[in-house]
């Protein structure tokens, strides 16, 4: 970037990277900045790139501001906030030419680290905090708010909004509120007195986010489970899924707890919880609990990540074969094994599609962001009960743990839960006999009964071979009749899962397919490609089994690219296996190092593969 | 084995229980286990217990893992819903079923392989959570279904049909239960229906997880000389000092006041368990006394049977969770969903 472009005014289009030390309290300062920009009405994203560590290792936070809404990871940074001496060298190297580095000038910067083409903005953060705060812990914590103050001035962020946010956060702690306001002021004043504020790239108010919220996917998914009427949950803690259940627990305590006053003033009130969440001994138990509860007719779910899915495999096959609903939320992280548990990936696609031994196939949903995580969580319960089978919602760490600007969530008051084909006592009353796996409907679903229903409806669920009457069998034809129906039942779900999103452009010569959280980066890439003369149609797959449109899209393009975040091109394989389009007709574009996808990665890869 | 022999025309009319049902109404499919298998005798005792208790069949949910033992729920209470699940996972599935619907009577059938090896974690945690269910371990010291490998309950020195004697210390489910905070622990012998039936009835009445370890000889793989889970060994080494009577709520509630050597434990539902002729230092509600009693006898090569421990004061999973008395599965989704206005309001926090 030439100096011209560096000094040219750029409004609401830049990115900032903050380099911190894990466990020093930087997270709240960083999200404060992001939230303030959001409240100014500007599309923004905040990506936390954190280590698997509680304290001490390097951690980064990236803020991208983009008026068009392209807020996928930027990969080039206009401002580096270098707060970790350990990583100075890399961080300073990472800034765009013509960019800026903000650092703590309480200590001199090693001459060797200096670059001619970037501007260094020294703020004596440690010195300021030592002079202004007494408690050692406060001196460390307030450094974060002080650098946030300097950034507020440098980027032209609305000071009142930031002050209001601090007051809201510390509404119930006056002392902390005052310390924070004071630290903010220290940074702000220093920047105003010593630098030209704002920098050439900065923010100006917009109204693009007035109907939006700032929410992470784990919270949104938990809200979906609450709204879908889930009452029983089984789980085992694992990053990055833990917050799904933490949030579900909190939401239940607010929306599902009734306090019943005592009969007399001496009689204490009692609580009544319309939910039961079991922190299980492992993920096998977690899915077992879900199966037991779903068998009994409650809406039940578990949330986990890849290692948990691996453990659940045996019981997922049991659920598939015995036709028990189950909702599994998989917040994917980087595998295999423990892999990089605080990094993102989309590498559980095939694991979930065919989870368990034997011939199995499951229903998968791929939300792109927290808003769809809410919506698809609700859909998961409807699908699981309609098709009496496990349903996986495949989120990832980026969607689950980062805050996203998404349209405000809405709820249709006319929502009627699809509880599937269940025969209750009144239905059984007229029946002479009930056979669990006979009399399939158009979707190849048979009616079930719930434990406790009349004796006519009593049957014996078994994972061993059974015929359509639910009886034990080792007969080849009777066995095949049931598993063949299961295959057809799975295929029927294609019409029920969220349809793929297809966007066509005039003169398109290639097709680009993607899924989940890659959405924004791929859309941006398609714009960038068009600027380079490569016109592409876009398709985002949202569910499995695939709708006919998925096959059609591949067949309509002489060349398609499948963009996903795993090493082996799992979506590409799944499309080929399931639609029978030749795998060579699709080219993989992959990023699987654990960080959220950037449009540049997609553009570079496609351009290279096209041989341009 | 009543579940196998089913005369088409009964010679005399069969007696009826309070619901007007005969014992036949509590039976299930024909057993396919080996003739003489201890598990079939346990099935018969379960049939009797539920018949005597007049439990409506459809209010029973029977679950199991995988093994010969786990096949048996098909052989009792035809009118109950059943779930033959996966090896070792029954306790987890039962926990979920109970979580969703606390209104049913749950009975889980498992084997020593199912519960003490592959599923020991789930058993331990179901005990801790005090899931209200009857949990029967049909303990034969071997893996019957996979043809006779020694299980984790095989005693040191115990010989499998083929191969060397066991050298690894066994797991005693009763001692495991004590350590896990179990609230009801009993041991019995498949060959002793007189003892097993009242224990099963007390277990059904118990407010929590009732663990019953039933020594159940495997006639095919573990009923020979050198086996400590054989019919002969049990007949020679069983010590039935902890004799129990179970007095259900509805009958003779004015049970005679116990004399010396007797302890009475009232059950949650008002029934009574009476411990007869127990040693004076034996308190069925004191973990330590139970443990030392069992260990003392063990060191003499004796197997103590009977209802060994009861604690009716602990809370169940549901009581700890403050859930409603009716099953959570009954609450309609429309009642559980907070609705559009609440969604609007709560999103103020996400601005
Ligand atoms: C995951 C898994 N591993 C192994 C098996 C094979 N298997 C079936 S039953 C059994 C052991 C059963 O022993 P136990 O629970 O003591 O029952 P028993 O047959 O003795 O009554 C084993 C190992 C299985 N079904 N599933
Ligand atoms: S193998 Fe043993 S446990 Fe299995 S049915 Fe035969 S006797 Fe019973
Ligand atoms: Mg066994």
Residues A197 and A256 in one domain: no
Q: DSSP characters for A356-391?
A: SSSS---EEE--SSHHHHHHHHHHHHHHHHHHTSEE
Report residue A511: phi and psi, to 5°.
-120, 140
Mean pLDDT of the region B202-227: 95
Closest Cα in chain B to A459: B81
Mean pLDDT of the region B229-234: 92
Q: Is the CB of B111 under 6 A from ligand 1?
A: yes
Q: What is the pLDDT of residues B17-33, one digit of tens each?
A: 999 999 999 999 999 99
Nearest CA to A450 out of A387, A378, A388, A492 is that of A388
Report the distance separating Cα A291 and Cα B98, nearest Å: 11
* Minimal-distance CA residue to ligand 2 atom 8: B37
Closest Cα in chain B to A319: B85
What's the pLDDT at B300? 87
- Return mean pLDDT, chain B: 91
What's the pLDDT at A6? 54
Residue where a domain stops, chosen among A495, A513, A536: A495
The answer as to whether A209 is a domain residue is: no
Residues A315 and A400 in one domain: yes
The answer as to whether A300 is a domain residue is: yes
Residues A449 and A588 in one domain: no
What's the pLDDT at B252? 47
Run of H or E including B184:
strand B184-189
Chain A residues within 8 A of B94 when measuring between CB atoms: 292
Find which of A296, A328, A412 to mutate to test the B interface (most B CBs within 10 Å of its CB). Answer: A296
Q: What is the DSSP letter of A516?
A: G
What's the pLDDT at B8? 58
The answer as to whether A382 is a domain residue is: yes
Chain A residues within 8 A of B83 when measuring between CB atoms: 292, 295, 451, 460-461
What's the pLDDT at A2? 42
What's the pLDDT at A3? 46
What's the pLDDT at B276? 67
The answer as to whether A412 is a domain residue is: no
Nearest CA to A334 out of A347, A352, A322 is that of A347
Residues A62 and A192 in one domain: yes
Q: Ligand 1 centre and the CA of B177: distance in Å?
A: 21
Residues A489 and A560 in one domain: no
Cα four-point dihedral sign A390, A394, A399, A404 = negative
Task: Tell me, yes or no, if B120 comes closer than 8 A to chain A by beta carbon.
Answer: no
Residues A96 and A170 in one domain: yes
Mean pLDDT of the region B274-283: 74
With a cut of 80, say whether residue B1 has pLDDT above it: no
Burial class (CB in 10 A: 0-12, 13-18, 19+), A172: exposed
Q: Is the CB of B94 under 6 A from ligand 1?
A: no
Q: ipTM of this model?
A: 0.96
Residues A310 and A338 in one domain: yes
Where is pLDDT greater, at B275 or A278?
A: A278
Find which of A31, A452, A459 to mutate to test the B interface (most B CBs within 10 Å of its CB). Answer: A452
Burial class (CB in 10 A: 0-12, 13-18, 19+), B327: buried
What's the pLDDT at A238? 98
Task: Tell me, yes or no, if A328 comes closer than 8 A to chain B by beta carbon.
Answer: no
Interface A–B counts its CB contacts (< 8 A) at 220
| Chain centre distance of CA A60 | 18
pTM surpassing 0.80?
Answer: yes
Q: Tell me the C-alpha to C-alpha distance, in Å, between residue B165 and each of B118, B159, B169.
A: 22, 4, 12
What's the pLDDT at B240? 83
The answer as to whether A414 is a domain residue is: no
The answer as to whether A344 is a domain residue is: yes
Residues A520 and A480 in one domain: no
A residues 247-266 lying closer than 8 A (beta carbon) to B: 255-256
Task: Tell me, yes or no, if B129 comes closer than 8 A to chain A by beta carbon.
Answer: yes
Q: Is the CB of B190 under 6 A from ligand 2?
A: no
Report the distance separating Cα B70 and Cα B143, nearest Å: 11
Q: Tell me the C-alpha to C-alpha distance, in Å, between residue A45 and each of A224, A343, A519, B151, B196.
A: 22, 17, 14, 57, 66
Q: What is the 3-state secondary structure (H, E, C) of A117-130?
A: CCEEEEECHHHHHH
Q: Is the CB of B66 under 6 A from ligand 2?
A: no
- Which residues have C-beta within 8 Å of that of residue A77, sequence separation ≥ 6? A15, A16, A17, A62, A94, A95, A96, A99
What's the pLDDT at B257? 39
3-state DSSP assignment of residue A255:
helix
Decide the pairing of beta strands A326-332 and A390-396: parallel
Residue where a domain stops, chosen among A495, A524, A540: A495
Task: State which residues of chain A have pLDDT below 70.
Answer: 1-6
| Chain centre distance of CA A2 | 37
A residues 31-60 lying closer than 8 A (beta carbon) to B: 39
How confident is residue B162, by pLDDT bands cut at 50, 70 and 90? confident
Residue where a domain stops, chosen among A479, A495, A511: A495
- Count of domains for chain A: 4
What's the pLDDT at B2? 36
What's the pLDDT at B280? 72
Mean pLDDT of the region B46-66: 98
Residues A263 and A385 in one domain: yes
Chain A residues within 8 A of B31 when measuring between CB atoms: none
Chain A residues within 8 A of B61 when measuring between CB atoms: 296, 451-452
Residues A43 and A67 in one domain: yes
The answer as to whether A417 is a domain residue is: no
The answer as to whether A210 is a domain residue is: no
Residues A514 and A486 in one domain: no
What's the pLDDT at A434? 97
Report the distance separating Cα B152 and Cα B138, nearest Å: 13
* Nearest-atom index, ligand 2, CA of B221: 2
Task: Tell me, yes or no, if B321 comes closer than 8 A to chain A by beta carbon.
Answer: yes
Decide the pairing of beta strands A119-123 and A95-104: parallel
Residues A185 and A219 in one domain: no
Give me the residue label for tokens 């020679």: B236
Angle between helices A548-556 and A570-579 (to 10 degrees): 100
Joined together, the tokens standing for residue A547 give: 């709708």
Q: What are the structural domain ranges in chain B?
A: 23-320
CATH number for region B23-320: 3.40.50.970
Exposure of B259 in the CB half-sphere (CA atoms within 13 A):
1
* Nearest-atom index, ligand 2, CA of B67: 4
CA distance A512 to chain B (A): 33
Q: Is the CB of B144 under 6 A from ligand 2?
A: yes
What's the pLDDT at A1? 38
* Nearest-atom index, ligand 1, CA of B111: 15
**A111 is in which domain, residue-wise?**
3-202
Q: Is the CB of B42 under 6 A from ligand 2?
A: no
**Nearest CB partner across the interface for A285, out of B125, B318, B338:** B125
Where is pLDDT greater, at B255 or A98?
A: A98
């Amino acid at each position: 970037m030439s100096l011209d472009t560096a000094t040219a005014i750029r409004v609401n289009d830049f990115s900032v990277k903050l380099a911190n030390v894990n466990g020093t309290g930087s997270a709240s300062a960083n999200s404060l900045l992001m939230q303030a920009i959001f409240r100014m009405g500007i599309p923004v994203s905040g990506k936390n790139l954190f280590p698997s560590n509680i304290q001490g290792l390097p951690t980064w936070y990236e803020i991208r501001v983009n008026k068009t809404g392209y807020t996928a990871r930027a990969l080039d940074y206009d401002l580096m906030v270098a707060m970790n001496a350990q990583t100075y060298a890399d961080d300073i190297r990472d800034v765009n030419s013509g960019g800026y580095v903000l650092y703590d000038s309480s200590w001199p910067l090693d001459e060797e680290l200096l670059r001619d083409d970037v501007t260094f903005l020294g703020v004596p953060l440690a010195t300021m905090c030592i002079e202004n705060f007494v408690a050692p812990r406060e001196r460390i914590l307030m450094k974060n708010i002080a650098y946030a103050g300097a950034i507020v001035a440098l980027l032209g962020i609305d000071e009142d909004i930031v002050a209001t946010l601090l007051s809201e956060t510390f509404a119930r702690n006056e002392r902390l509120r005052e310390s924070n306001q004071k630290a903010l002021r220290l940074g702000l004043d220093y920047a105003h007195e010593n630098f030209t504020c704002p920098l050439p790239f900065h923010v100006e108010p917009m109204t693009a986010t007035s109907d939006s919220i700032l929410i992470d996917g784990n919270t949104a998914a938990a809200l979906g489970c609450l709204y879908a009427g889930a009452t029983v949950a089984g789980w085992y803690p694992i990053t990055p899924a833990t917050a799904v259940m933490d949030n579900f627990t909190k939401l239940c305590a607010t929306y599902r707890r009734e306090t019943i006053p005592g009969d007399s003033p001496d009689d204490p009130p009692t609580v009544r919880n319309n939910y039961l969440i079991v922190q299980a001994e492992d993920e096998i138990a977690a899915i077992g609990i879900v199966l037991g509860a779903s068998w009994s007719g409650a809406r039940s779910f578990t949330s986990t990540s890849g290692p948990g899915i691996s453990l659940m495999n045996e019981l997922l096959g049991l659920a598939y074969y015995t036709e028990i609903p189950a909702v599994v939320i998989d917040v994917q992280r980087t595998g295999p094994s423990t892999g990089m548990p605080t990094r993102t990936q989309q590498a559980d696609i095939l694991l979930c599609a065919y989870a368990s031994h034997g011939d199995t196939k499951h229903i998968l949903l791929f939300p792109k962001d927290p808003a769809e995580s809410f919506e698809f969580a609700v859909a998961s319960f409807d699908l699981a009960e309609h098709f009496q089978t496990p349903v996986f919602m495949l989120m990832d760490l980026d969607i689950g743990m980062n805050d996203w600007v998404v349209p405000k969530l809405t709820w249709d008051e006319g929502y009627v839960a699809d509880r599937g084909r269940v025969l209750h006592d009144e239905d059984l009353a007229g029946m002479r006999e009930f056979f669990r796996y006979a009399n399939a409907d158009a979707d190849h679903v048979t009616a079930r009964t719930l434990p406790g229903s009349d004796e006519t409806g009593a049957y014996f669920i078994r994972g061993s071979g059974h015929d359509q009457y639910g009886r034990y069998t080792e007969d080849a034809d009777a066995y095949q009749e049931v598993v063949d129906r299961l295959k057809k039942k799975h295929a029927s779900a294609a019409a029920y899962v969220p349809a793929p999103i297809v966007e066509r452009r005039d003169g398109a010569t290639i097709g680009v397919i993607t899924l989940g959280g890659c959405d924004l980066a791929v859309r941006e890439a398609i714009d960038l490609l068009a600027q380079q003369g490569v016109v592409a149609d876009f398709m985002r797959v949202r569910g499995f089994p695939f709708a006919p449109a998925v096959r059609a899209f591949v067949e309509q393009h002489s060349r398609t690219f499948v963009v996903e975040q795993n090493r082996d091109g799992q979506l590409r394989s799944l499309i080929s296996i399931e639609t029978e389009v030749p795998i060579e007709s699709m080219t993989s574009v992959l990023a699987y190092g654990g960080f959220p996808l950037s449009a540049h990665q997609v553009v570079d890869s496609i351009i290279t593969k096209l041989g341009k | 084995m009543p579940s196998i022999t089913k005369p088409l025309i009964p010679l005399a009319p069969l007696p009826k229980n309070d619901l007007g049902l005969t014992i036949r109404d509590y039976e299930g499919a024909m057993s396919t286990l080996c003739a003489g298998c201890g598990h079939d005798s346990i099935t018969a005792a379960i049939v009797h217990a539920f018949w005597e208790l007049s439990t409506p069949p459809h209010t029973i949910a029977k679950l199991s893992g995988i093994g010969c033992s786990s096949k048996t729920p098909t052989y009792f209470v035809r009118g109950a819903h059943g779930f033959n699940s996966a090896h070792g996972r029954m306790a987890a599935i039962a926990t979920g079923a109970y979580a969703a619907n606390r209104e049913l009577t749950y009975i889980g059938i498992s084997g020593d392989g199912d519960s003490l090896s592959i599923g020991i974690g789930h058993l331990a945690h179901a005990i801790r959570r005090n899931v209200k269910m009857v949990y029967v371990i049909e303990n034969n010291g071997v893996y019957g279904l996979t043809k006779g490998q020694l299980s984790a309950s095989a005693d040191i020195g115990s010989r499998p049909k083929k191969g060397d004697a066991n050298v690894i210390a066994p797991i005693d489910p009763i001692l495991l239960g004590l350590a896990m905070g179990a609230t009801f622990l009993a041991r019995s012998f498949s060959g002793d229906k007189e003892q097993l039936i009242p224990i099963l009835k007390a277990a059904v009445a118990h407010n929590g997880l009732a663990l019953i370890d039933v020594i159940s000889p495997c006639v095919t793989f573990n009923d020979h000389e050198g086996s400590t889970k054989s019919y002969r060994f049990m007949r020679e080494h069983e010590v039935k000092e902890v004799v129990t009577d179970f007095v259900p709520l509805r009958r003779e509630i004015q049970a005679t006041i116990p004399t010396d050597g007797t302890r009475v434990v009232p059950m949650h539902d008002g029934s009574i368990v009476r411990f007869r002729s127990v040693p004076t230092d034996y308190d069925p509600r004191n973990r330590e006394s139970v443990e030392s009693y069992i260990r003392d006898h063990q060191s003499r090569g004796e197997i103590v049977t009977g209802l060994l421990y009861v604690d009716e004061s602990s809370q169940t999973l549901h009581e700890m969770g403050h859930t409603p008395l009716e099953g959570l599965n009954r609450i309609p989704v429309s009642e559980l969903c907070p609705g559009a206005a609440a969604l609007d309001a709560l999103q103020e926090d996400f601005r």
